[in-house]
Chain A
Amino acid sequence: MQNQNPTLLITYREALKQSLREALQNDKNVFLMGEDVGRYGGAFAVSKGLLQEFGEERIMDVPLSESGFVGAGIGAAIAGMKPIIEVMTVNFSLLAMDQIVNNAATLLHMSGGQINVPIVIRLGCGIGRQLAAQHSHSWEPFYAHIPGLIVLSVGTHEDARGMLNEALKSPNPIIIFEYTSMLNMEKEVLEHPNTVDITKAKILKEGNDISIITYGTGVYKSLEAASELATMGIDAEVIDLRVLRPLDESTFLKSVSKTHRAIIVEDAWKSVSISSEISSRIMEKIFYDLDAPVQRLCGVEVPIPYPAHLEEASVPQKKDIVNAIKKMMQHD
């Protein structure tokens, strides 16, 4: 019998593009606006060809004015449209922080529930392309700090395909982190994607000895580390947080209660990070379930340097995860 839902090999970039195309096809109020999204085809070629397919009313190139076009996206969302705003990279989103923090995140509450801002802001981000300090930021913790925002992280190809369309169904402002170092990576995905639940973390590999809690580029690295650890007889569970605000704590707390050990892996700087928050919640809620102190593997607190070897040393790699977990398991 023929498989009703076969898998296909697809790049992360293609998965993102398919999700954009689907969003534009599904709702005429959806439009994509951002720097170089149209004629250039997207700085990372994610929206390549969409201008020709949907026209310039739906795929809008904008000037380099992040605060201006993010603010305009907020205005369009308030007025009933469904804008997808692409800020070329997360680094430039700092220029739009006023709009995101002071407006998108506050208007509903400040107006006593009168104003929804159903905007989706996509931010290309990540480390690993030798782009040096100003183009290698991991601002997930910044945005995850802010009540009123929903912050999603696209750590897998499946989410690259499915997250955007779920995000567009939300009445809330949503920030989506997409990882440019993964764009060319090919993975098998289902031809007809399952619905993605953007309120939940996802256990990507079950295990009994330790919980690896991660997001973004940490996801595939952690899965690879878990495979290597398996050969040493260590059975790691891998959790992709996926939604960084509001955190789905029940998934990781349940996991850690089962495995009794937790390590958190992220590229962002360690101080005041996502891992700080996860670690605190484990401590607050299930301290007595722990067999070892919670460990964190994070970005080294340095402006990310240009040379490849230094850049690589700035963020956790597979070997770091494996070594840290081996050490933790010796605590018994």
Chain B
Amino acid sequence: MEQSTTIHDKIDTKKELLFLYQMMLIRRFEEKAAEQYTKAKIRGFLHLYIGEEAVAVGIIQALNDDDTILCTYREHGQALARGIDADFIMAEMYGKQEGCSRGRGGSMHLFDVSKKFYGGNAIVASHLPIAVGMALASKKMNTNNITCCFFGEGAAAEGEFHEAMNLASLWKVPVLFVCENNLYAMGTAIKYTHSVTELEKKGAAYGIESTAVNGMNLLEIIKAANTAIEKVRKRGEPYLLVCNTYRFRAHSMFDAELYRDKKEVEEWKKKDPIPQYKDYLLQEKIITKAEIDAFEKKIETKIQKAVDFAEAGTWESSTELTKFVYSETVT
């Protein structure tokens, strides 16, 4: 198995365990979400992150608490990795007012400003210009914060991607563009949507330093993320990091997956980032099998607690329906 051990010494052991815990938590959370969806506890669109966990965990570990994060509608993994409690995410997916967006957003619109987590944005590529603007504000206000913007390869075909890349480079603002290339824009493979499928090449057109990384390997992502984020922060300039990954589940719960071969999915499952990382930790004797089992138990309890929290949550009164259409005060 390809494993980069060069950064091993730079990560403290607790963090290494935390990363495994986070990836396992995301995986189990998503499985539970799918289960709750089939029970009609969660409705609307539900996009699962299973298979892509290493990307969120590997990138977000390199950010500071003051850095800003914007995501797509497939953002449960990022939300968990950022430290939004599973209780508030599950309650949001139930539509309960205890949810992190008061139940107003659902699965696709998780927000937690206290964690500088700005969605959960469900118009593909629409949040890229916003990310550039938030980075512009950091520059104008002389903070040392950066903005990290996740998006899929589908977004890279949108005009807003190109406008955002141009503006970010033109204005020299500290934004990390993280392209999660899972090879399918909903059900259309990248070869049918991009004239140039090596997406990292698109950065060059705008003078933005760009790299591609194996998005199924946590250690490689961590290394790439640390380098990229250090550059963004130090130079105050944008960077494009393409994480080549794969979603194991359907695009959303409505998707019958007619567009891809089951064999292809099975091949990618062999690259599953979680067992890969577990094996590495075991081989390096950073973790024991018993500790992994303990994680599993802990996660099971945590997720059951999140479901219980969501179940016990309350529905916002319909008399509050129009609250927050307009604001009286600046938050």
In the assembly, what is the distance between CA of A29 and CA of B331, in Å?
A: 16
Contact of A171 among B127, B163, B328 (CB under 8 A): B328
**Chain B interface (Cβ < 8 Å from any Cβ of A):** 68, 97, 99-105, 109, 111-113, 118-119, 121, 123, 126-138, 140-141, 159-160, 163-164, 166-167, 170, 323-331
In the assembly, what is the distance between CA of A296 and CA of B133, in Å?
A: 42
* Known contacts A65-B166, A109-B324, A112-B102; is-contact A72 B126 (Cβ 8 Å): no
Which B residues are CB-close (under 8 A) to A108? 324-327
Would B324 and A71 count as touching, CB distance under 8 A?
no
Check: A63 CB closer than 8 A to any chain B CB. Answer: yes
Say which one of A1-9, A45-53, A113-121, A179-187 lies at the interface with B. A113-121
Would B132 and A111 count as touching, CB distance under 8 A?
no
Would B166 and A68 count as touching, CB distance under 8 A?
yes
Q: Nearest CB to that of B122 among chain A residues? A: A102
In the assembly, what is the distance between CA of A32 and CA of B136, in Å?
A: 13
Interface residues of A in 59-82 (CB under 8 A from B): 62-63, 65, 67-81
Which A residues are CB-close (under 8 A) to B99? 112
In the assembly, what is the distance between CA of A147 and CA of B330, in Å?
A: 18
Q: Nearest CB to that of A31 among chain B residues? A: B140
**Chain A interface (Cβ < 8 Å from any Cβ of B):** 29, 31, 57, 62-63, 65, 67-81, 83, 98-99, 102-103, 107-116, 118, 147-148, 150, 171-172, 246
Contact of A74 among B133, B140, B327, B331 (CB under 8 A): B133
Would B330 and A115 count as touching, CB distance under 8 A?
no
Which B residues are CB-close (under 8 A) to A172? 326-327
Would B123 and A98 count as touching, CB distance under 8 A?
yes
Report 8 cross-chain contacts, Cβ distance below 8 Å, ordered by A residue: A31-B140, A68-B129, A73-B133, A75-B133, A75-B136, A78-B137, A103-B130, A112-B99
Which B residues are CB-close (under 8 A) to A62? 167
Which A residues are CB-close (under 8 A) to B129? 67-72, 74-75, 99
Would B331 and A114 count as touching, CB distance under 8 A?
yes
CB distance from B133 to the nearest CB of A (A): 2
Would B164 and A110 count as touching, CB distance under 8 A?
no
Contact of B137 among A57, A79, A107 (CB under 8 A): A79
Would A75 and B113 count as touching, CB distance under 8 A?
no
Which A residues are CB-close (under 8 A) to B137? 75-76, 78-81
Q: Nearest CB to that of A96 among chain B residues? A: B129
19 new A-B contacts at CB < 8 Å, known A65-B163, A76-B134? A65-B166, A68-B129, A71-B163, A72-B129, A72-B167, A75-B130, A75-B132, A78-B133, A79-B134, A79-B138, A81-B140, A102-B123, A102-B126, A103-B126, A103-B130, A112-B324, A113-B331, A171-B327, A171-B328
Which B residues are CB-close (under 8 A) to A78? 118, 130, 133-134, 137
Would A99 and B136 count as touching, CB distance under 8 A?
no
Q: Nearest CB to that of A95 among chain B residues? A: B159
CB distance from A257 to the nearest CB of B (A): 27
Would A72 and B160 count as touching, CB distance under 8 A?
no
Would A115 and B163 count as touching, CB distance under 8 A?
no
Which B residues are CB-close (under 8 A) to A118? 330
Which B residues are CB-close (under 8 A) to A148? 325-326
In the assembly, what is the distance between CA of A71 and CA of B128, in Å?
A: 8
In the assembly, what is the distance between CA of A79 and CA of B131, in Å?
A: 10
Minimum-distance CB pairs A-B, first 10:
A75-B133, A71-B129, A112-B102, A68-B163, A79-B137, A72-B133, A65-B163, A111-B111, A75-B130, A75-B134
* Known contacts A113-B324, A172-B327; is-contact A63 B136 (Cβ 8 Å): no
Q: Nearest CB to that of B327 among chain A residues? A: A171
Would B323 and A72 count as touching, CB distance under 8 A?
no
Q: Nearest CB to that of A85 among chain B residues? A: B133
* Known contacts A68-B164, A75-B132, A108-B325; is-contact A171 B331 (Cβ 8 Å): yes
Contact of A110 among B109, B163, B327 (CB under 8 A): B109
Q: Nearest CB to that of B116 among chain A residues? A: A79
Which A residues are CB-close (under 8 A) to B127? 71, 103
Would B118 and A68 count as touching, CB distance under 8 A?
no
CB distance from A82 to the nearest CB of B (A): 10
In the assembly, what is the distance between CA of A71 and CA of B126, in Å?
A: 8
Which B residues are CB-close (under 8 A) to A73? 133
Would B160 and A67 count as touching, CB distance under 8 A?
yes
* Known contacts A112-B102, A114-B111, A148-B326; is-contact A98 B160 (Cβ 8 Å): yes
Would A110 and B133 count as touching, CB distance under 8 A?
no
Q: Nearest CB to that of B123 among chain A residues? A: A102
In the assembly, what is the distance between CA of A196 and CA of B159, in Å?
A: 39
Q: Nearest CB to that of A78 among chain B residues? A: B134
Which A residues are CB-close (under 8 A) to B324? 108-109, 112-113
In the assembly, what is the distance between CA of A63 and CA of B162, in Å?
A: 12
In the assembly, what is the distance between CA of A107 and CA of B119, in Å?
A: 9
CB distance from A120 to the nearest CB of B (A): 13
* Known contacts A69-B129, A75-B131, A76-B134; is-contact A111 B113 (Cβ 8 Å): yes
In the assembly, what is the distance between CA of A147 and CA of B113, in Å?
A: 22
Contact of B104 among A65, A102, A103, A110 (CB under 8 A): A110
Would A63 and B167 count as touching, CB distance under 8 A?
yes
Which A residues are CB-close (under 8 A) to B136? 72, 75-76, 81
Would A116 and B327 count as touching, CB distance under 8 A?
yes
Would B111 and A110 count as touching, CB distance under 8 A?
yes
Would A74 and B130 count as touching, CB distance under 8 A?
yes
Would B119 and A111 count as touching, CB distance under 8 A?
yes
CB distance from A323 to the nearest CB of B (A): 40
In the assembly, what is the distance between CA of A55 and CA of B109, in Å?
A: 38
Which B residues are CB-close (under 8 A) to A63? 163, 166-167, 170
Would B327 and A71 count as touching, CB distance under 8 A?
no
In the assembly, what is the distance between CA of A72 and CA of B135, in Å?
A: 9
Which A residues are CB-close (under 8 A) to B123? 98, 102-103
Would A112 and B160 count as touching, CB distance under 8 A?
no
Would A115 and B111 count as touching, CB distance under 8 A?
yes
In the assembly, what is the distance between CA of A103 and CA of B127, in Å?
A: 8
Which A residues are CB-close (under 8 A) to B159? 65, 67
